[in-house]
Structure 1
Amino acid sequence: MTLSMQWWTMALMLLSGLGMGAVFDSYRILSLELKFPRWWLPFLDLLYWVAAALIVFRVLYAGNNGEVRVYVFLGLLLGVTVYYFLFSRMVAAIVRWTILAVRGLIRFIIGMLDWTIVKPLVLLYKLIKVIFSFGAAITIFLLKVVLQLFRPFWLLAKWMLGPVIRPIAGRLGPHLDRLRLGSRLRDAGNRIAERWKKLIRKP
Structure 2
Amino acid sequence: MTEIINLEVQFFLTSILYGILLLVVYDCIRIFRRIVPHKAFFVALQDILFWLVASIVIFIMIYERNNGTIRGFAILGMLLGMIIYNQMLSKIVVKGITLIIKTIIKGIKKGLSILLKPFAFLGKKLGKVFGFATSKVSKANSKVGSKIKKVGKSSAKQLKNAAKTVKISVTKK
State the alpha-carbon separation in 2 of the partners of residues 73 and 108 from structure 1.
48
State the alpha-carbon separation in 1 of the partners of residues 96 and 85 from structure 2.
14
Higher mean Cα deviation, 83-92 or 1-10? Answer: 1-10
Structure-2 change in CA distance of 1:114 and 1:69 (3 Å): same
Quote the sequence identity (%). 21
Structure-2 change in CA distance of 1:188 and 1:111 (3 Å): closer
State the alpha-carbon separation in 2 of the partners of residues 33 and 46 from structure 1.
20
User: Aligned residue for 1:56?
Assistant: 58
User: Aligned residue for 2:120?
Assistant: 119
**Alpha-carbon RMSD:** 3.5
SS of corresponding position for 2:25 = helix
State the alpha-carbon separation in 2 of the partners of residues 12 and 119 from structure 1.
57
8 Å contact 1:26–1:91 — kept in the other structure?
Answer: no
Q: Deviations over 1:116-144 (max 9, x none)?
A: 6x3365278479x59xx8xxxxxxxxxxx
Q: Displacement, 1:37?
A: 0.9
User: Aligned residue for 2:13?
Assistant: 11
Structure-2 change in CA distance of 1:121 and 1:71 (3 Å): same
State the alpha-carbon separation in 2 of the partners of residues 121 and 54 from structure 1.
56
Q: Deviations over 1:142-167 (max 9, x none)?
A: xxxxxxxxxxxxxxxxxxxxxxxxxx
User: Aligned residue for 2:46?
Assistant: 44
User: Aligned residue for 2:76?
Assistant: 74
State the alpha-carbon separation in 1 of the partners of residues 95 and 142 from structure 2.
70
8 Å contact 1:26–1:95 — kept in the other structure?
Answer: no
| Count of residue correspondences | 137
State the alpha-carbon separation in 1 of the partners of residues 52 and 46 from structure 2.
10
Q: Displacement, 1:103?
A: 2.4
Q: TM-score, normalised by structure 1?
A: 0.53
Q: Which runs of 5+ in 1 are unaligned?
A: 134-186, 193-203
State the alpha-carbon separation in 2 of the partners of residues 52 and 97 from structure 1.
27
Q: Displacement, 1:20?
A: 2.0
State the alpha-carbon separation in 2 of the partners of residues 80 and 5 from structure 1.
22
Structure-2 change in CA distance of 1:114 and 1:40 (3 Å): same
The structure with the larger Rg is 1
Q: Which runs of 5+ in 2 are unaligned?
A: 134-139, 146-173
Higher mean Cα deviation, 52-61 or 101-110? Answer: 101-110
Greater relative contact order (CA < 8 Å, ≥ 6 in sequence): 2
Q: What amino acid is the match of 1:119? A: A
User: Aligned residue for 1:98?
Assistant: 100
